[in-house]
Amino acid sequence: MPKVDELDKWRRTHYSSDIAPNLDGKKVTVFGRVTSIREQGEITFIIVQDKCGILQITVKKSKAPKKVLDRIKDLNEHSILGVRGILKSIDKAPHGAEVIPSEIKVLDFVRKSLPFNPYKRELPSLDKRLDVRALDLRRPKAQAIFRIRNAILWSIRKFLIKKGYLEVNTPKIIASATEGGATLFPLLYYNREAFLAQSPQLYKEQLASCFEKVFEIAPIFRAEQFDTLKHLSEAISVDVEEAFVNYEDSMKLLEQLVCNSIEFVNKECKEDLDILKHKIKKSETPFKQFTYDETINILKSEGLDIEWGEDLSTISLKTYSEKISGFYFIKDWPTSLKAFYINPKKGKPEICESFDLMHGSLELSSGGTRVNTRKILETQLEMKDLDPEQFEYHLKTFDYGMPPHSGFGLGLDRLILVFTGLENIREVVLFPRDPTRLTP
Ligand code: AMO
């Protein structure tokens, strides 16, 4: 077996992206993973990938030191290398320069044949890839997806903090349901029953009463029995809540947030979007808005058998998305279809001040003006077969003065699907959770 070297005092001087012809003659230390080894006559070309891309190590047998030749003798693809050497400009190499090594450390090598080669075109099914996700994530496409994800997160945080929203962290172990009792994951909390949080809804409302403008980017847990391309048991939600505004203001903010992220990703992630062969279309602004009533009428005129008060089924949304492209809102939903904390309209309580942000047939976000009085909250909890007593820890805060407030929850993973042009939500999550997957 080949010997494994120690890292010792070696530290990186250059990433692959720093390498350039004008550094000709410079001493460098580079690290990375071998993606290919090619022998051409007396020259060995070793392509090494680091977090920024690839670089070329060129070993000429007649000129290389013996210790370098010894170290590359048993080298295999996917080994982990450290290389010290001199940069030499050369047109044909990536970034216009190659590294001529004076010393090579093999920091680790491959001990078993890989279940698949992440650098090859032919790949196994997503499920097989997810089983060894750490290997799958070496794929250039996967790397591009998660760099775009990172850019989206950064742009959202920057946007909200600049506008004066406070980033908060709320408990993920909670005492009662917020989004309907059927989708809770129960757990044992010492000697009591507790649940994983379905959303930070109640906490973000309480915090809006203290800090006025808050947001959280965190996991939400949904125990739904699904087998779709757009659901997860653990998803990331961007939750925003604000005092002294209503749902029209929340829609405006959400639209600005999405447009800002599109602009940022289009500017900062050009190469990654090219790798994915995807272009994010800028949607017309303001985003189109349809009331639930208008939506039902349009669907009826398309020949769908749908009654007022019904939720929009997958078929309804597919039909609708064939008529409307890009981002759009569906607002003013029946109160019966929305959660207990959404405010019914004055003089028309069967409709509530609510909205969903859609892209095609995909629901990206939902939000609304919140109920602001304890009495209505209690009535609505009972209407949803929820026990107000279980919510006392929340309801009592409404006794102490609660500003009017509104907000939304935006499904980050779904937004990334739109930004990357992918179809399966599991592709854009590092370690997805669904009813059949709990590892890795
Ligand atoms: P809702 O339940 O509609 O609203 O969730 C908000 C958004 O989160 C995303 N989402 C999911 N993504 C992947 N897998 C899931 N299982 C999943 N469930 C939800 C969707 C959805 O639009 N408290 C309210 C928000 C609010 O009113 O502020 C809520 O949770 O993109």
Q: Please identify, by atom number, the ligand 1 atom nearest to the C-alpha of residue 365.
A: 22
CB 354 within 8 A of CB 333: yes
Domain holding 84, by residue range, is 16-108
pLDDT per residue over 280-307, tens digit each?
988 889 999 999 999 999 999 999 999 9
* Total domains in the fold of the chain: 2
Q: Is residue 240 part of a domain?
A: yes
| Same domain? 158 vs 286 | yes
Q: Closest residue (by CA) to atom 22 of ligand 1?
A: 365
Give me the CATH number covering residue 265: 3.30.930.10
Q: What does the pLDDT average to over 341-370? A: 97
| Same domain? 142 vs 34 | no
Alpha helices, H only, 212-353: 247-268, 270-275, 292-301, 314-323
Give the Å distances, CA to CA, from 283 to 82, 152, 230, 322, 359.
46, 17, 21, 16, 10
Token output for 38: 């090619």
CB 407 within 8 A of CB 414: no
Q: Is residue 114 part of a domain?
A: no
Give me the CATH number covering residue 69: 2.40.50.140
Q: What does the pLDDT average to over 122-151? A: 97
Tell me phi and psi for residue 416, to 5 degrees: -70, -35
**Distance from the alpha carbon of residue 410 to the mean position of ligand 1, in angstroms:** 6
Q: Is residue 200 part of a domain?
A: yes
Label residue 181 by pLDDT band (50, 70, 90): low
pLDDT per residue over 203-216, tens digit each?
999 999 999 999 99
d(CA 220, CA 237): 6
Q: Is residue 376 part of a domain?
A: yes
d(CA 214, CA 166): 5
- Comparing C-alpha atoms, which of 170, 213, 202 is closest to residue 339? 202
Averaged pLDDT of the chain: 96
Q: Closest residue (by CA) to atom 9 of ligand 1?
A: 411
- Using the CB atoms, write b or e for 385-417: b if 16+ within 10 Å: ebebeebeebbeebeeebeebbbbbbbbbbbbb
Q: Closest residue (by CA) to atom 20 of ligand 1?
A: 411
Q: Is residue 113 part of a domain?
A: no
Q: What pLDDT score does 283 carry?
A: 81
Q: What does the pLDDT average to over 398-414? A: 97
Pocket residues: Cβ below 6 A from ligand 1: 179, 199, 201, 222, 224, 231-232, 235, 237, 239, 363-368, 407-409, 411, 413-414
**Distance from the alpha carbon of residue 179 to the mean position of ligand 1, in angstroms:** 9
Q: What pLDDT score does 178 carry?
A: 74
Q: Is residue 300 part of a domain?
A: yes
Q: Closest residue (by CA) to atom 19 of ligand 1?
A: 411
**Distance from the alpha carbon of residue 411 to the mean position of ligand 1, in angstroms:** 6
**Distance from the alpha carbon of residue 222 to the mean position of ligand 1, in angstroms:** 9
Q: pLDDT at residue 95 above 90? A: yes
**Distance from the alpha carbon of residue 240 to the mean position of ligand 1, in angstroms:** 12
Q: pLDDT at residue 383 above 90? A: yes
Q: Is residue 125 part of a domain?
A: no
**Distance from the alpha carbon of residue 333 to the mean position of ligand 1, in angstroms:** 16
